[in-house]
Amino acid sequence: MFVERLELKHFRNIEHLKLDCSGELHMFVGPNAQGKTNILESLYVLAIGKSHRTRSHRELIHWEQTGALLKAEVSGKESARRLEIRLTPRGKRVLRNGVEQRRLSEYIGSLTAVLFAPEDLSIVKGSPQVRRRFLDMEIGQVSPAYIYHLTRYNQLLQQRNSLLKELGKGWGKQAALLDVLNEQLVELSTHLWIKRFSFVNILSRWAQEIHHSITQGSESLTLHYRPLATVNPGMDRSTMEEVLTQELMLIREQEIQRGTTLIGPHRDDLRIAANGTDLHTFGSQGQQRTAALSLKLAEIELIHQETGTYPILLLDDVLSELDDGRKTHLLETIRGRVQTFVTTTGLEGIDRETLDRARIRRVHQGSITEQG
């Protein structure tokens, strides 16, 4: 998959940009706070439908304007696509080939993207919430139905937690409503678990192979999805439903007392280990960075396996975070296969062969000029 052209209006600090994106490698160079990351963010928004940096649409709109426009022409295995997202303080409109997509799940997959930024190191060393978000964002790109079920699950979770709080304070007499919500929670939870188990299984195979190569065979990387409920990937859907139904009954009073849902996909975690050692707790910074890189490269291969096309790769100031060995492995792995957009404060430490095949642009206060 390739982005051929990108157009932005009033996006962050970029007033108006028309960018020819032909070519495999694009590098945006300049000091911090000039707008380099905004370019990569716009591509991510066009792929995912939302930003990785904020939940507020308003923050994406130039502070002097009432709306922003993002447009891209994308070529892939199938015919070319015209993608467009119009942002206002009240929300967004998402269009593909001029036709508005009423649900985000209908739009996802029009452009697939893998983003790797310094904060992605927290996938390994951060909280379970970070790892759940990682799973949700990546599964959604290859399974739009997952986004639909996840959205419904989160809405139901809010409704159920509100009811639990009311019951705990003695304000609600609607215990029967909790049974209804439990049935819905069980159904949606199993949808998410089945997808997560399958995704982690495939991702683990790719990540293990890549990690083995990066570490020259010295480490074996393993991924294990860890639900709080006693479900496992060997269960069928009905068995998972029975298990969760029983466990919800057992903790019913505890949930009412605490006013929150205590088990379900929103409480699960992903264990990342090297040679059997949990990297979150015991991994060195080098091990954690290598594992994060392996996961990101595995994402690329997984998306290609599931969709038949490679995603675009967005490297946001990440080269400076990697040592020469990891940097070389990253650049060699993607060479000739993946269209890549890179931001960096300088070109030092990047090999001449990479620079010769790159289109290099300088960024200054939201303005972009191509380097000859």
Annotated binding-site ranges for ATP: 30-37
CA 45 to chain centre: 11
**DSSP-based three-state secondary structure for 100:** strand
| Spatial distance between the Cα atoms of 138 and 52, rounded to a whole number of angstroms | 12
Q: Tell me if 152 sits within 8 A of 117, measured CB to CB.
A: no
Pairing assessment for the beta strands 91-96 and 99-100 based on DSSP bridges: antiparallel
Residue 283 exposure: Cα atoms within 13 Å on the Cβ side = 26
How buried is residue 76: exposed, middle or buried, by Cβ count under 10 Å (0-12/13-18/19+)?
A: middle
Residues making up the binding site: 30-37
> What is the dihedral angle through the alpha carbons of 338, 340, 346, 351, rounded to the nearest 10 degrees?
20
Closest CA to 123 of 20, 302, 270: 270
Phi/psi for 322 (5° steps) reads -105, 145
Q: Tell me if 43 sits within 8 A of 2, measured CB to CB.
A: no
